Amino acid sequence: MSFTKYQSLEDRIVLISGGASGIGEAFVRGFADNGARVAFLDLQEEAGHALAKSLAGSARHAPLFIRCDVTRTDELKAAIAEVGRKLGPVAALINNAANDQRQTFPDVTPETFDKTMAVNFRHVYFASQAVVPQMVERGGGSIVNMSSITWQVGVPELMGYASAKAAVVGFTHSLAREVGKHRIRVNAIAPGLVLTEKQQRLWYPTAEKVAAVVKNQFLPDTIMPADIARLALFLAADDSRMITKQTFNVNGGRA
């Protein structure tokens, strides 16, 4: 298969949270391959530096990795300010960082609930808040927020995660109205099961478990991180200039 390259992404500054592994790594690789100036944030310091190093020789611009705990809003905003100083105003923000840790409903405490919201939703809000002035400065931009189909289908051990991902959609729609006058577009992506290394290791370790999910899709193939990244590339590029306040399901037609 061959896939589209987006010339409008060349030299464009793209900021990705949770970019060191999984879907986030696919975002970093995809935008770097399209010639963007990529900055990405993650707690996984070793993996982050390794990814940046692996792309330094082949990418038009070597990615900038910044270690950051996105649940610490002061640290998050400092990292975003650093990106602005080193690279310039952000043109595309991909709010990707998340943790789909399973939880038993009766055992959830206010503390664990707050942590779930912090890693899956709160940083989306405040990263956007920090980046919007940079986008206003440059005359427009694109924000892509990662949601999930978990809140649509109902997953028993992911009530907190699903609640946060539903909140991402509500925030996306409201922010799109707020910043549209500045030519800033805001959209969300809601993936189905994406077969990352983490998903395989923790939740879907056997071919049978994966097949049980794929069986509920219309398309008989597993969803890979690059499938999500290709949609994010389109939403960040000028090709989607009149698309905002939308949530795109990438689930293979899951019933």
Count of domains observed in the chain: 1
Give percent of the chain with pLDDT exceeding 70. 99
Query: Is the pLDDT at 167 greater than 90, yes or no?
Result: yes
| Domain that includes residue 67, residue range | 7-194+225-250
Distance from the first to the final alpha carbon of the chain: 26
Residue 58: give its domain's CATH number.
3.40.50.720
Instruction: Kindly report the pTM of this predicted structure.
Output: 0.95
**What backbone phi and psi angles, to 5 degrees, belong to 223?**
-85, 125
- Determine, yes or no, domain membership for 209: no
Q: Are 6 and 234 in contact (CB under 8 A)?
A: yes
- Determine, yes or no, domain membership for 212: no
Residues annotated as catalytic (active site), given as ranges: 161
Query: Is the pLDDT at 255 greater than 70, yes or no?
Result: no
- Please give the Cα distance from 189 to 234 (Å, whole number): 12
